[in-house]
Amino acid sequence: MNYADMHVHTTASDGTVSPAEVVELALKAGLSAIAITDHDTVSGIAEAQITGSRLGIDIIPGIEISTDYRGHDVHMLGYFIDPDSPELEPVLSWAVNEKNLRNRKIAAALREAGFCIDLGDIESKHAGTVIGRPHIAAEMVAKGYASSVSECFERYLGEGCPFYVPRQRIEFAEAIKFIIRSGGKAVLAHPLQYKFSFSETEKMAALAKTHGCVGIEVYYTGYGESEIAFLLSLAEKYGLIPTGGSDFHGDNKPDISIGQAKVTYDTVRLISPNP
């Protein structure tokens, strides 16, 4: 059987493994395909495709976008987008700019509170990367302010924490339309990460479908049998394709390995615009 991990981050956003190395890990894990789904950027895709064609791993060009769903940060995956689409540039540069403005506010608040954190240092360590909270968290870990990235999110940077700063995000339905305009297929990411009730999760899936979303991420790191069964029932009810992936981030999420959550290659064909 051929398998695909449809949710992988690289150093182009907040993963710690380069696009080329991610493909090598996929080969070692016995996968046939991976989707590169970096946050707000397509800059890792070309490198992954070069290594993919050398090693015989199919690379699905993808993206993950943070959207605004009724004030909540809900993620939308875009698959088979055209990385050269002229639609991408203005929306992605707006999102990256919003993130950078937010990063500056976080860094200023941290310095104000006595943390020795310099955003310029972080940016120069990660040239060519979309910088986000995980990079700030990794720097805080390196300086001894926390023992892990996730502890740093829990104590300082996560929602409800002292250094949480909100940022503007593209509206949920707008994000779906944007993915479609960019030649891609939209899939609702990790629907149980938002801590919604079952009925709110269902409402969100239904709304996504209304606006042209074609899939829902059912197989995801940490989702157990009952969670998968619930998400499969939503997929069935609303005619959404059940997809899956690990959300691999390298050392930024050290408990997740590539291929930990996966789907058969048939799912890739179902999502593909040219099956």
In whole angstroms, what is the distance from residue 77 CA to residue 93 CA? 17
Would you call 62 helix, strand, or coil by DSSP?
Answer: strand
Nearer to Zn ion, 32 or 44 (CB): 44
Identify the residue whose tokens are 């990256």. 96
Q: Do residues 92 and 41 make contact, with C-beta atoms less than 8 angstroms apart?
A: yes
Under rule CB under 5 A, which residues in 180-239 are in contact with Fe ion? 189
Minimum Å gap between C-beta 115 and Fe ion is: 26
One-character DSSP codes across 203-258: HHHHHHHHTT--EEEEEETT--HHHHHHHHHHHHHHT-EEEEE--B-GGGSTT--T
Report, in Å, the least distance between residue 122 CB and Zn ion.
16
Closest-CA residue to 184 (of 153, 160, 215): 215
* Radius of gyration for the chain, computed over Cα atoms and rounded to the nearest angstrom: 18
Near Fe ion in 130-159, by CB under 5 A: none
Binding letters toward Fe ion, positions 61-100, x by CB under 5 A: ---x----------x-------------------------
Determine the residue with CB nearest ligand AMP. 132
For ligand AMP, which is the closer residue by CB, 67 or 201?
67
Instruction: Compute the least distance from the CB of residue 18 to ligand AMP, in Å.
Output: 17
Q: How far is the CB of 232 from ligand AMP (least distance, A)?
A: 24
List Cα–Cα distances, 76 to 67, 128, 144, 213, 273, in angstroms. 7, 23, 33, 9, 18
Distance CA 153, CA 258 (A): 22
How many residues at the interface with Zn ion, by CB under 5 A? 1
Binding mask 74-113 for Zn ion (x = CB under 5 A): ----------------------------------------
Answer for which of 14, 247, 253, 262 binds Fe ion (CB under 5 A) is 247
Cβ atoms of 96 and 40 within 8 Å: the answer is yes
Task: Select 14 or 217, whichever has its Cβ closest to Zn ion.
Answer: 14
Q: For tokens 């403005």, what's the residue?
A: 101
Judged by beta carbon, residue 117 or residue 134, the one nearer Fe ion is 134
Element (H, E) at 67: strand 58-69
Report, in Å, the least distance between residue 130 CB and ligand AMP: 8
Q: How far is the CB of 105 from ligand AMP (least distance, A)?
A: 12
Count how many Cα atoms sit within 13 Å of the Cα of residue 31 in the half-sphere of its side chain: 30
| 6-65 residues near Zn ion, rule: CB under 5 A | 14
Contacts with ligand AMP by CB under 6 A lie at: 14, 39, 66, 99, 132-134, 149-150, 153, 252-253
Cβ 199 to Zn ion, closest distance in Å? 28
- Interaction site with Fe ion (CB under 5 A): 64, 75, 189, 247
- Interaction site with Zn ion (CB under 5 A): 14
